[in-house]
Amino acid sequence: MAAEASNHPINAAEQLTEQEAYELAEELKLKLAEQIIPSSDQDSIKKMVAGLGDPRGGLRLTFAQSLGSIGTAAIPILCDALKNNPNVLIRRASAKTLNIIGSEIALPNLIEAFRTDDDPVVQGSSAGAMATIGEPAIESLLEILTDRNCSAFQVGLINLALSFAGSKAPDVFNQAVQSENPEIRIAAITALAEQVHSETNNQAKVLLVRALKDDSSEVRAEAATIAGKTLEPEDIINELYQLLKDQNTQVRKNTALALMKMEALESINQLNEAISSEKDDQVKAVLKVALNQLVTLK
């Protein structure tokens, strides 16, 4: 359920002059220093949210930290500001403050802001807040990937958020990697790569290797790139040799670059063979770059 918005959204009377914002921020700084939680009545919260629109970054940070210390009680007004305030500074800072609080209560509002707000900072901060929320946000983030209107920028933000959230829920992507949607499978293996590094999921390596044989060429291509950055040659070398013969040109390119990235010197002969049989000039050029790089390392 979305956080219930305040019945009395910020109005002209609750806007702060520069002097009022400064004085309130100074008062709040003292409370933060003494670890005193500020007043959590609606009028006080609304004034702090209004302060999130101040052009001075230091003051905005004080207001955000103060609202963060209030926590749950501030969420409805912050969500209202995130959705409805015309001031982009307030929308951005509201999302960042919800990140500080990290409560699942705000999740529906963060999803809406991520989907509908045109400002990239609002989108990024909303994604960051969802990542902080963790496992409860993962299903929604994966669902957004299936939206045709999801931009490449949003896809990148989702993958970052999923990698962070996945560190708190190590097994959640074991099922997602079997999704019928290729975009979800790609997001899942991206998160699995992070889990290989952090050693938080003992199945992550197996699932990542399995993705190299995925039915989708897009997934295979991405899996090759990720594997090249994540795994050791002995983990996947035979699978990568097979992908040098893949029907898809992008898969073959990514595989060659993965072998180069891994400094797989044992693949020099296979790259030579691939070059001799390759018919696509662009792929052949990438194969030669990978080969030359490995030869120089030998």
Last residue of a domain, one of 124, 153, 173: 124
Instruction: State the greatest distance between any 2 C-alpha atoms of the chain, in Å, as a whole number.
Output: 75
| pLDDT tens readout for residues 105-162 | 999 999 999 999 999 999 999 999 999 999 899 989 999 988 888 999 999 999 889 8
Look at residues 17, 102, 85 and name the one whose alpha carbon lies nearest to residue 51: 17
Assign 13 a pLDDT band (cuts: 50, 70, 90). Answer: very low
| pLDDT tens readout for residues 217-228 | 999 999 999 999
146 and 34, same domain (yes or no) = no
Last residue of a domain, one of 174, 200, 230: 230
pTM score, two decimals? 0.74
11 and 117, same domain (yes or no) = yes
Separation of first and last alpha carbons in the chain: 59
Where does residue 11 rank: exposed (0-12), middle (13-18), buried (19+ CB within 10 A)?
exposed
What was the pLDDT predicted at 1?
Answer: 47
Average pLDDT of the segment spanning 36-53: 95
Total tally of structural domains belonging to the chain? 3
What was the pLDDT predicted at 11?
Answer: 43
Q: Domain containing 171: what range?
A: 134-230
Q: Which of 1-15, 56-70, 227-241 has the lowest mean pLDDT?
A: 1-15
